[in-house]
Every structure is written in structure tokens, then in C-alpha cells.
Amino acid sequence: MMPSSSTASDRAQRATLLVSCPDQRGIVSALAQVLAGHGANILSADQHTDAASASFFQRIHFDINTLHTDRLTLEGGIAEVRERFSMELSLHYGEHTKRIAIFVSKYDHCLYDLLLRVNSAELHCRIPLIVSNHTDLSAIAEHFDIPYHHIPITPENKAEQEGKTLALLKDSQIDVVVLARYMQILTPDFLREYPDRVINVHHSFLPAFAGKKPYHQAHERGVKLIGASAHYATADLDEGPIIAQEVAHTSHRDAVEDLIRKGRDLERLVLSRAVRAHTEDRVLVAHNKTVVFD
């Protein structure tokens, strides 16, 4: 479940800096100077200013193989710029391959898609485990040689089982949780442990048709487009920051089953797109919205 060694070696020489702060003069120059001053070679830099909130966002991808100081000194220089501009920032080294836990129930299409993309090195991450409240998909995990943890949940044992699950994730050093059509609502206590690190796929073009049976809702309304959305899960159901969306055309001839079939293709696409954006450190969250850099 790992990409080729040469590709991994290349990524190990790279780092990514994600920055958000109040918009002001001098930010771009200050960040460029501190990186260049430590010998880093900037490979790409992308930025966005949100005029409505007067907020600035930037992603800088750079080569650390050329550093003439050590990482600790570099991080100290970046911290000084952070304090000066009241920044929120995160620094990600390419040598760390993100560890993803996939949560599933009975639908297999998103699970298969993610596993195949990882297996072909299209997604650069590790999947140490799959968690499910059912046993239906255990054979898929076995086929890909991934541990499958059956953790059944009822209203009576939900808190206890979530505690067990969190302990399992901690033991496996999980960075990101992906809900691949996991038909359970995670509690606020769980989500607080993984802020902006639980990615969910919802089978509608949010904010339309949130909640249960969105394809049935769409059919009843006679919509001409259906969609799917991948977003960060929050305590407010289906209202978290949206990372990726896609749509497909429908017509009056489409039955609910047709919408479901078309929708599953969209679900695969948007979930893998969101996971890729997150694992490549291309997403910033602010004001319940995302900035997703190309």
C-alpha cells in the first residue's frame, strides 16, 4: 500500500507550508525571505485573499534538500514570521506519509475506489486499518491485506464503542479518518479529537438534500442535476466545510435507482478528490469554508 520508492524519495526532500492570517502587506515577502534565507528552494507558491473576511491564505511547496541550516532553525524562523503577522500555519514534511483509517458500513463502492487508488499509487497514503459497524465488507479488507475491525454500535453502547475506536486510531497513529459511506453519526466528542481531519462523503450537492435518502428527495423534486459532496465532518450534520463536489445531469425518465447509480460514480470521484487534496496538504479551512489550492 505504498507508492514506488523513487517517488517516495522525491517527496521526502519536499515540504509544504500552509498559512492563513488577516490580510496585510508584506506577508508574501516575509515568508519568501525566511525560506530563502535558510536555503529552501520554493517550487510553487499559491495564494488567495478573501475580501469579505479580509483573510489571506497561502500554500508554499519547497525543496528542503538545499537547506544550509537544520529544520529546527528553519522552524524557528517561520515561527517568528507567524508571530509578526498573527498567522495560523502548519508545516508538513513530505517524508511523512499520512495514515488513513477508512470507516465503512455496507456500501462498498467508495471503499473499493480508495483502495485501488492507493494500491496504484494514485493516492499517496497508508491505510493501516478499516473500521466498520458491520461485517459485510471484511472480505475486501482481506483481499487488500488490511486489518478489518468490526465495532458494532447501538444507541446503548455508542459512547463505549467510540472510545474503543479512538484508542484504536491512536494506537495506529491515524492522521485522517475517511467516512466512505459510514452510516453512523460521529459524536462531537469524537470529532474534537480529529478537527478538520474527518472527511465524509454525502450523496447530494450540499446544502441541498442534506440528511437521509437524498436521492429519493431529489427524485420527488424532479431535479435535473444530482450531485455528491465531500466535506469535513462537524457536529452539525452535513454542514461541515466542503472540499469537493461534482454533479451529473438527470431527466424525468430517471427512476430513483438511476439516480443512485449515477450518484455512486460521483461519490467515488469527490471522495477520492477530497482525500487527495488533504493528503497533498492543499486544503485550508476558515469560517466553515475551505480554500483548496490546485
Asked if residue 123 and residue 39 are part of one domain, the reply reads: no
Give yes or no: residues 126 and 229 share one domain: yes
CA dihedral in degrees (169, 239, 281, 263; nearest 10)? 90
Position 211 scores a pLDDT of 63
Q: Any idea which residue has 517550487 for its cell?
A: 43
Question: Before 214, cis peptide (omega within 30)?
Answer: no
Q: Are residues 74 and 109 in the same domain?
A: no
pLDDT at 8: 67
- For 108-127, how does the pLDDT look when each residue is reduced to its tens digit (9 = 90+)? 999 999 999 999 999 999 99
Average pLDDT over the chain reads 92
Active site residues: 238
* Domain that residue 124 falls in: 99-292
CATH at residue 186: 3.40.50.170
Considering the domain architecture, whether residues 104 and 88 belong to the same structural domain is answered as no
Same domain, residue pair 208 and 264: yes
104 and 226 together in one domain: yes
Q: Which residues face 283 on adjacent strands? A: 292
pLDDT at 2 over 60: no
Whether residue 169 sits in one domain with residue 32: no
Per-residue pLDDT tens digits for 34-62: 999 999 999 999 999 999 999 999 999 99
Residue 224: how many CB atoms within 10 A of its CB? Answer: 12
Residues 74, 107: one domain? Answer: no
Tell which wins on pLDDT, 213 or 7: 213
Least confident of 42-51, 167-176, 190-199, 242-251: 242-251
Distance CA 111, CA 179 (A): 9
Mean pLDDT value across residues 140-145: 97
- One domain for residues 57 and 171: no
Instruction: Verify that 195 and 270 share a domain, yes or no.
Output: yes
Per-residue pLDDT band at 217 (split at 50, 70, 90) = confident
**Total tally of structural domains belonging to the chain:** 2
C-alpha to C-alpha distances, 81 to 32, 34, 61, 283, nearest whole angstrom: 11, 8, 17, 21
30 in Cβ contact with 85 (< 8 Å): yes
| Last residue of one domain, picked from the residues 47, 67, 93 | 93
**pLDDT, tens only, 255-290:** 888 888 888 999 999 999 999 999 999 999 998 999
Q: Residue 258: its pLDDT value, please?
A: 85
Q: For residues 70 and 166, state if they share a domain.
A: no
CATH number, domain of 89, equals 3.30.70.260
Domain C-terminal end among 93, 113, 134: 93
Same-domain status, 225 and 246: yes
Q: Considering 93, 124, 139, which residue would you say is the last residue of a domain? A: 93
